[in-house]
Structure 1
Amino acid sequence: MAGFIRAGGARLEYRWAGPRPDRAPTVVFLHEGLGSAGLWRDFPVRLAAATGCGAVAWSRAGYGASDPVSLPRPVRFMHDEAAVLGEVIGGLGIGGHVLFGHSDGASIALIHAGSAPAPGLRGMVLEAPHVFTEPHGLASIAAIRDVYRTTDLRERLARHHGANVDVAFRGWNDVWLDPDFRAWNIEAYLPAIRVPALVVQGEDDEYGTWRQVEAIQRQSGGPVAVLPIPQCGHSPHREHPDAVLAAAAAFVRRVIGSGAER
């Protein structure tokens, strides 16, 4: 099922799979810096089927079929999106839930969980999360700017973002390459987290090193399990979907439990 919800002052698209929130807990998907609700493809549907939970993926403002945003994005844009996440969860009537964030979406989940989490948060699956910037990742982000200018990357992204394609790309790429963004760091939010997390990290991730995982393990206020994926880059759920699905489904079933609040 597809629809729109108003949150953060914008009209946002979402896609729902599986039972509604009055029937079962929900896995809430937060996409990466160039992602959208549709770019999760069938992964939310498969996770819903494997867990009996509902699954909802939504496009942040400036992505997919959601409203556009004004550029440039502020350096604190992920903090702003963490507040919008709470509006989306409340607006969709979601009770018990697990956050599944990829890249920027994982960072937004961490800020949300470590500041003012929505009621009913049971745990987080964090795929390729960032908690600080690294030269390794910034160099890859700088390189993809040239790829966007000189290859068919823009055309391929436009299939998922339509008229938002340049807003989506520049809104992500420009802010990460802003000199002020080099000081971006969300480690201060980690000790206040009170739910378990599963961190999924590709061992060949071009945007982040194992230092990100170690920082979360060391500082999170909740228990942290780690799933390293060999021969994998920045998108484990696309590169090794079966391995990620199995681990994520087991984690969701464990943290939701048989008597969890809907």
Structure 2
Amino acid sequence: MPVPLPLVVSDFTLPFADHYLRCRTLRQPAATPASRPWLVFLHDSLGSIQLWRELPAQLAVALGCHALIYDRRGYGESAPFGPEPRTPAYLEEEALSVPAVLAACGISRAVLLGHSDGGTLALLVAAAEPALVAAAITIGAHVFVEEETVRGIRAATQQYATTELPQRLARYHGANTEGLFRAWTDTWLAPGFRSWNIEHYLPRVQCPLLVVQGTADEYGTPAQVTAIAGQVAGPVRTALLPGLGHTPHRQAPELVTELVVGFVRELVPDA
């Protein structure tokens, strides 16, 4: 079997009217069919381009697709959050901007892979933009608030106050660190957020969907997987990974890569 050629990596800043996003593309060195979708990675509440580690490159090489990774607004090297306070509908609001990011990068068909908040974003974008989203993969996504989620975030708040977690996060987020951590914890721990729920969007998800979660996820239970898989309209595959926590793609990257590659090859036309 021939060894795949190295990907062409480009880092750039994508400007918008009131902010900018730091982006990275991983392109195949040879021409690919125009119909082949891009892999697009949507990170979690503490994530960034760097924290995806080698997963985007591994999947891009295995599938022969171009890939886009970007720091969401307020994260990594992207612009800080705007002056308005975060609302309980912040994910629904951010989902409206994702198609504009893809359009600015010349992407008209995408396989979305999202972790945690990013997985929720992937579901929301798939529901709203069926022509854009060829498939979606979620890892530890949430569609409602559970006590396990609240408990996990309270534990993270304690770690932030008593350990070197702020310094570790600052390696990836710099001046954005305090703002993104408080936005996450203040929103999810607010009493008014307990009723947050996006299940009513799920019947609009028509594309193939892979739902991945660790059985030891410290921020959610398999009830999230059951809710998602039971309500989407398109073909769905689930993977509950024994003993793994909220970041199975970092705990068992080979396993997650195998799951994603098999899913995309089987259920996504032209990929």
For 1:12 and 1:123, the matched residues in 2 are separated by: 24
Alignment of 1:129-168 (within 5 A): 129-168=141-180
Are the aligned partners of 2:125 and 2:133 in contact in 1 as well (CA < 8 Å)? no
12-21 or 149-158: which moved more? 12-21
Deviation at residue 175 of structure 1 after TM alignment: 0.7
List gaps (5 residues or longer) in structure 1: none
TM-score, length basis structure 1: 0.94
Q: What are the Cα deviations for residues 139-165 of structure 1, in whole angstroms up to 9, with x where unaligned?
A: 110111111011000000000001111
Where does residue 237 of structure 1 map in the other structure? 249
For 2:246 and 2:16, the matched residues in 1 are separated by: 28
Where does residue 78 of structure 1 map in the other structure? 91
**Which of 71, 77, 87 is the aligned partner of 2:100?**
87
Letter in 2 for 1:5: L
Deviation at residue 21 of structure 1 after TM alignment: 8.4
Where does residue 115 of structure 2 map in the other structure? 102
Change (3 A) 1:164 1:21: farther
Give yes or no for the alignment of 1:193 onto 2:205.
yes
Are the aligned partners of 1:99 and 1:109 in contact in 2 as well (CA < 8 Å)? yes
Q: What are the Cα deviations for residues 55-99 of structure 1, in whole angstroms up to 9, with x where unaligned?
A: 111111110000001364111110111011111111111022100
For 2:84 and 2:191, the matched residues in 1 are separated by: 16
For 1:97 and 1:255, the matched residues in 2 are separated by: 14
Change (3 A) 1:101 1:254: same
Change (3 A) 1:49 1:154: same
Q: What are the Cα deviations for residues 25-50 of structure 1, in whole angstroms up to 9, with x where unaligned?
A: 21100001100111101110111000
Q: Percent identity?
A: 42
Please state whether the residue corresponding to 1:215 is helix, strand or coil: helix
Where does residue 27 of structure 2 map in the other structure? 18
Where does residue 137 of structure 2 map in the other structure? 125
Alignment of 1:241-256 (within 5 A): 241-256=253-268
Where does residue 183 of structure 1 map in the other structure? 195
Q: What are the Cα deviations for residues 212-232 of structure 1, in whole angstroms up to 9, with x where unaligned?
A: 000011111111101111110
Are the aligned partners of 1:89 and 1:118 in contact in 2 as well (CA < 8 Å)? no
Are the aligned partners of 1:18 and 1:45 in contact in 2 as well (CA < 8 Å)? no
For 1:56 and 1:7, the matched residues in 2 are separated by: 17
Letter in 2 for 1:212: Q
Letter in 1 for 2:149: G
List gaps (5 residues or longer) in structure 2: 1-9
Are the aligned partners of 1:71 and 1:171 in contact in 2 as well (CA < 8 Å)? no
Letter in 2 for 1:241: P
For 1:232 and 1:253, the matched residues in 2 are separated by: 25
Are the aligned partners of 2:142 and 2:220 in contact in 1 as well (CA < 8 Å)? yes
Letter in 1 for 2:133: L
Are the aligned partners of 2:109 and 2:131 in contact in 1 as well (CA < 8 Å)? yes
Alignment of 1:195-214 (within 5 A): 195-214=207-226
Deviation at residue 251 of structure 1 after TM alignment: 1.6
Are the aligned partners of 1:7 and 1:87 in contact in 2 as well (CA < 8 Å)? no
Deviation at residue 254 of structure 1 after TM alignment: 2.7
Change (3 A) 1:74 1:178: same
Deviation at residue 119 of structure 1 after TM alignment: 3.3
| C-alpha RMSD over aligned residues | 1.7
Larger RCO, structure (CA 8 Å, separation 6 or more):
1
**4+ residue segments displaced more than 6 Å:** none
Change (3 A) 1:10 1:118: farther
Please state whether the residue corresponding to 2:152 is helix, strand or coil: helix
